Structure 1
Amino acid sequence: MPKEYAIIDLFAGPGGLGEGFSRAGRADDARMKIHLSVEMDDHAVQTLRLRAFLRSFDTFPQEYYNALNGRADFPDWANLYPANWAHAEQEVRQRVLGGAGVFEELAAELDQAREVHAGNTILIGGPPCQAYSLAGRSRNKGKADYVLEKDDRHYLYREYVRILDRLNPAAFVMENVKGMLSSRVDGGGIFSRVLDDLEAAGDGYRLFPLAQPIPADGNRADARDFLIRAEDHGVPQARHRVIILGIRSDIAEGVAPDGPILGNKQPPVSVDEAIAGMWQLRSGLSRKDTTDDWKQAVRLQAAAIAEADAVDENVRAIARLIAAANDLPHLRTSAWKGDISSMSGHLQEWFSDTRLRVTLQHETRGHIPDDLGRYMFSAAFARCFGRAPKLMEFPEILQPAHKNRDSGDFADRFRTQVAKRPSTTVTSHISKDGHYFIHPDPKQCRSLTVREAARLQTFPDNYWFCGPRTKQYHQVGNAVPPYLAYQIANAVRQLLP
């Protein structure tokens, strides 16, 4: 009988890592279950708690599908299934890691998990990345009173290490942004300190890269070897993240994989394939949002692009077709379930749920008419040239009236996700506006919906994100792709006894 491992998920977000590990843990030869998830955000906690409740059943309860398929509110789960809901509330804790008294509160829980499972635990999670990300560092430079060394977010990884030290799990997986590799504090690189602290925690850990061969000399891998390109592992997104696998020293002595732990690269998955079967939708209008008004605005923008100076003739041709089209999209939201048979088999299996008869959270934003033209031009340009245009390549009629538009800081301001390639990195910025996440179809003139973004992040189609739409986007952008987490979980479990 294989050992069962308890998973502790820190800084859990909406549960991307946890979903992958949970799904891998349902296999007879894997046996891993989430014991505790810790997250601070209200809406992410609601999402986590709902998912924990659903996973407490062998199969999701029919009432869940009744609500989704009937577009109705969820029932009172605590009243309907009190024991299962109590389990979910116990599993998911809303806490601010690093806050006063939080570690002391969780310590007893960590001790119990370690003792009950005889040390067979796995710690996963990613400390918040704003202080390490390139975008975050750029924003911080613009703050007059910003002092790098006083930004506590640089040191939140230490809370992860502190819990690692207390739990002393068989293995851990820590995820963070690529910018951690180059981030510097107090005159030194932060990443080497992170690795040193992780190695020294508990009874000591050996650190392994997942996507590169392990050094034959037994030395620690180079820093950049810990970088994983999600698009190399079946994720339809160019998401490059630092992911560190640590295995406790007493177990690591027998770990000698032949080649990269995650195995060989997989063929890239395109945006088109990832959002296959999603119904065409029109965007909204910020004002006077009717279908006729939207179509009129689209035709006017298309006609202007077709007549504009310095526009490629191929782009003009697309604009002329849109200006004359009778089949412009008319829906802003679609619950109809689409056909995903064109997807690769592994993605079909991953996304599909035969009990789900609708597409969840597939509703568009509203945009101003000028942005409809910008989105249309960007998508038409990307269709013709296989890349999104830079801002300087937009015709003058579509240039935004920003004082700093010529600074170069906003060159990628209106970025289409190219249909035949993996998307760019889905980030939490998608919650602010859709300018960097434009749909590849020029006729739809819109940004991606929550569900389309969730597909690029590889959340299963039955995954429900709680909260208003802005918060749903934020959760999706902050997550680890569950399909990547699933592969990591399978690989980690095979290395453990």
Structure 2
Amino acid sequence: MKTKYNIMDLFAGCGGLLDGFLQTEKYNDVASVEWLKPQVNTLRNRLKTRWNVKDADKRVLHFDMQREDELFNGWDNDEVYGSSKGLDHFVNKVKGIDIIIGGPPCQAYSTAGRVRDEKGMKEDYRNYLFEHYLSVVNRYRPKMFVFENVPGMLSAVPDGTPITKLIKDGFESIGYEIIDDIKKYAKINASDFGVPQARKRLIILGIRKELSGNAQELLRHFYEVILPKYESKERVSVKQAIGNLPKYIPILDEESHKKRLAYRVDDTNTNTNIKTTWLEPRYHSLRDMGIFEMLAADLESKECKYTDSKALSKVYEEKVGSKSPIHRYHVLRPDEPSTTIIAHLYKDGNRFIHYESKQKRTITPREAARLQSFEDGFDFLGSRGSVYQMIGNAVPPLLAKMVALAVADLLDEIMKNDR
């Protein structure tokens, strides 16, 4: 049997990126790091139940990446993070790390985040979390790394220097190269790889310089030849992804709403073969249910009176009684990939209204997970809000799987040439 490549996952979240890599059966998970507890619990549970990782509670480190010395060497009895032997312990048990994967939190780089923040996120510490990613790469010297983030990184300039230049220069200083033209090569759309969602992301592959006489040539080969082999021939629509999940009937009497009861499952349309979790809609008021029905019915009838931002902003002003600089509503188109699933779902789902007007609701956590290409067997542990948040922040596992296959192909070529 062919030896698997050893991987480490940083800023792991609930494990979408790692899950895709493991699905290829070409990689061995050595350790992961994540600081949010619901995400840690979810990833540990997934590793134990799906991938039979018996020591997942130890292998997934619940810790802050910024505390590097403890991260590497271990810590004891921390009030928040408990105890761990540190990353060095797990790396020393294997013959080195072949690939480091992950991406720092994207909020500081996202265009939407910079618009909302009065200082344009320039003072947000998350702008520089990549430096800790770089430190881990420098310590363990993997053959490659996969750095994932939002396209907003391309225009992020928190201190007068583009973040992409800081990242490129940082990795070059420790002996790694990334593609010269990130925008041209590294910006991809998850829908091109079978994910039922239009989700543009940067997939930045880094190569240790000593592995190749011409790293840029290898990187172009990856983006131009290898990765495109794994693109899907057809785009998957919202309806294809979630159409067979349970439907819900709105409850419209005020007494039920006083008890925050807004929906009951439609037994006549429930697919009893689906065994999964997080199927129930969140609570919505009678006012919001009326708005959702109106907007979805507008699309069903093909009148399309509420499809531009001005019309949607006017609906919000008239129905809610306040103004908003951005439109607040969007109905998912059943015959197209979804718009980008975002962590803002934990606050409200108004930009993810179900396409069937009679259901008068936004999408459930499981529907969001389906649109992110999570398997139904992938359970999420935590409150409803934290579950929406971790799903929205995750890398779609299917996209991760396609990237992982392409990376393995390139590594195989490099190892073959070395031999």
TM-score normalized by the length of structure 1: 0.72
Residue matched to 1:133: 110
Kindly name which structure, 1 or 2, has the bigger radius of gyration based on alpha carbons.
Answer: 1
Residue matched to 1:417: 332
Residue matched to 2:345: 430
Q: Which structure 2 residue ranges, 5 or more long, are not aligned?
A: 76-84
Is the alpha carbon distance of 1:2 and 1:194 closer, same or farther for their aligned partners in structure 2, counting shifts above 3 Å? same
SS of aligned partner of 2:204: strand
Contact 1:111 1:166 in 2 (8 A): no
Residue 288 (structure 1) aligned with residue 250 (structure 2): no
Residue matched to 2:29: 34
Q: What is the deviation of 1:92?
A: 0.7
Q: What is the deviation of 1:393?
A: 2.8
Indicate which of 259, 270, 276 corresponds to 2:224.
259
Q: How does 1:398-477 map to 2 (within 5 A)?
A: 399-405=318-324, 409-411=325-327, 413-477=328-392
Contact 1:417 1:437 in 2 (8 A): yes
Q: What is the deviation of 1:258?
A: 8.8
Q: What is the deviation of 1:452?
A: 0.4
SS of aligned partner of 1:6: strand
Residue 23 (structure 1) aligned with residue 18 (structure 2): no
Q: How does 1:204-353 map to 2 (within 5 A)?
A: 204-208=175-179, 220-253=180-213, 255=218, 256=221, 259-264=224-229, 265-266=231-232, 267-283=234-250, 288-289=255-256, 330-331=264-265, 337=271
Amino acid at match of 1:131: A
Contact 2:100 2:142 in 1 (8 A): yes
Residue matched to 2:64: 96
Q: What is the deviation of 1:130?
A: 1.1
Contact 1:133 1:177 in 2 (8 A): yes
Is the alpha carbon distance of 1:382 and 1:333 closer, same or farther for their aligned partners in structure 2, counting shifts above 3 Å? same
SS of aligned partner of 1:243: strand
Is the alpha carbon distance of 1:330 and 1:117 closer, same or farther for their aligned partners in structure 2, counting shifts above 3 Å? closer
Amino acid at match of 1:375: F
Contact 1:15 1:48 in 2 (8 A): yes
For residues 358-395 of structure 1, what are the alpha-carbon distances to aligned partners after superposition, in whole Å with 9 as ceiling and x for unaligned?
A: 23210011111111111112112233449762354368
Is the alpha carbon distance of 1:177 and 1:258 closer, same or farther for their aligned partners in structure 2, counting shifts above 3 Å? closer
Aligned residues: 393
Percent identity, please.
35
Distance in 1 (alpha carbons) for counterparts of 2:13 and 2:7: 15
Q: What is the deviation of 1:118?
A: 3.5
For residues 3-57 of structure 1, what are the alpha-carbon distances to aligned partners after superposition, in whole Å with 9 as ceiling and x for unaligned?
A: 3222110111110001001111x2xxx3x11111111111111101101112453
Residue matched to 2:80: none
Distance in 2 (alpha carbons) for counterparts of 1:490 and 1:358: 29
Contact 1:282 1:446 in 2 (8 A): no
Q: Which structure 1 residue ranges, 5 or more long, are not aligned?
A: 58-83, 209-219, 296-328, 340-356
Distance in 2 (alpha carbons) for counterparts of 1:247 and 1:466: 35
Residue 170 (structure 1) aligned with residue 160 (structure 2): no
Residue matched to 1:153: 126
Amino acid at match of 1:365: R
Task: Choose 394-403 or 238-247, whichever is displaced more.
Answer: 394-403
Contact 2:198 2:340 in 1 (8 A): yes
